[in-house]
Amino acid sequence: MDALTASVPVAKACEALALPRSTFYWGQRPTAATVDNPPPSPRGLGADEKENVRQVLNSERFQDSTPRQVYATLLDEGIYYCHWRTMYRILAEHDEVRERRNQLRRPVYQKPELLATGPNQVWSWDITRLRGPVKWSGFYLYVVMDIFSRYIVGWLIAERESEVLAGQLMRESCRKEQVGRDQLTIHADRGAPMTAKSMGQLMDDLGVNKSHSRPYTSNDNPYSEAQFKTMKYRPDYPQRFGSIQDAREWARVFIKWYNHEHRHTGLALMTPATVHAGLASQVSAHRQVVLQAAYAQHPERFVKGAPVPPQLPDAVWINPPSIPTTGPTPDTSPYPAITSQPFSVQAESRVGGFLPTCAALDADQHWTIIGHRWERGSNPTTATVIV
């Protein structure tokens, strides 16, 4: 058939032999060996020429230059081997195309996993900014919260963020709550006061474990963020505070409401003070008595049977570990709070004074005056710490 089609058109040859043209062309299709190993193009470089170009690209002169730069440099010198795209293809055949510059490799940060089964096991703290009387002015509210009870154990308002004030707040809060060594883990984000060296030294002195969120991950500090949202969505939250004294007075009223009056949905509709004081079981039992009396009086109104009050969670997590879908059932029994390791990994390339004194003024609200010189050349100012 091949000899016939050499001198006769394919259509006439197939008609004379009563052979469909599709059958002829099907037999002429390329085989797998031909597709995988196509014949070299007559316009392409030979093997010797490719090797010569590869040696030029990898020479000591051009080993740190891109094929585009090599192409232009040689062209200016009156030398032409091939186009720079062909140079890239030659390097790709030997797996020699890669990023030649030093690249920064971000460290892999461990996700903090903290568990609290009771008060004073895990605290969370953060700082938020309150608007001042004029544009660009403001004050800073420091809040320390127990994640199990949502109870605010300490707070202060100052004109600046400072690790010194934060350290005083932590020390006074631990003293008031009578926190023992190796009992508490304090979690925070990666703000400057949180990661300051003096703060880490204070944690070591108090016997407190420290934990930090991953960079740019606000979900790692959810309880403090949720408390700030509750505060700033209050009906009486002002657009701006006239002075730092106004901010402290408003915060004092809000935190009293939050601790002693706010029924938290995550606490079985109990107040943080109730849970923090260990009175949750008594309140739940009293609620059950009230509901049982209502059920006995009108059982027809409870179609699902006797009502039960909301139950307080046995444990509170920051980033609970994922439970595997296969394998043995994990042990879910309560255990002490998991401490997080400090994050001290530093990114690297691929190649490569006395603290102010505190004096308690009020036994109920635990006010503390911290003297600190904020403005250079001015009189010392004070910041009120409420823990």
Strands 348-349 and 316-318: unpaired
Would you state the structure tokens that stand for residue 217, as one six-digit string?
């991950």
Closest CA to 345 of 226, 241, 190, 205: 190
| Cβ neighbours around 241 below 10 Å, total | 22
Report the alpha-carbon distance of residue 270 to residue 376 in Å, rounded: 47
Half-sphere exposure of 115 (CA within 13 A, CB side): 13
What CA–CA distance (Å, rounded) separates 86 from 50? 9
How far is 227 from 341, CA to CA, in rounded Å?
A: 25
Q: Residue 115's Cα: distance from chain center in Å?
A: 18
Say how far apart CA 318 and CA 325 lie, in whole Å. Answer: 21
Model-level pTM?
A: 0.63
Q: Please report, in tens digits, the pLDDT of each residue of the chain (387 residues total).
A: 666 666 788 888 888 888 888 888 887 776 665 556 777 788 889 999 999 999 999 999 998 889 999 999 999 999 999 999 999 999 999 988 887 667 778 788 889 999 999 999 999 999 999 999 999 999 999 999 999 999 999 999 999 999 999 999 999 999 999 999 999 999 999 999 999 999 999 999 999 999 999 998 888 999 999 999 999 999 999 999 999 999 999 999 999 999 999 999 999 999 999 999 999 999 999 999 999 999 999 999 999 999 999 999 999 999 998 766 555 555 555 444 444 444 333 333 323 333 333 333 343 444 333 433 333 444 434 444 444
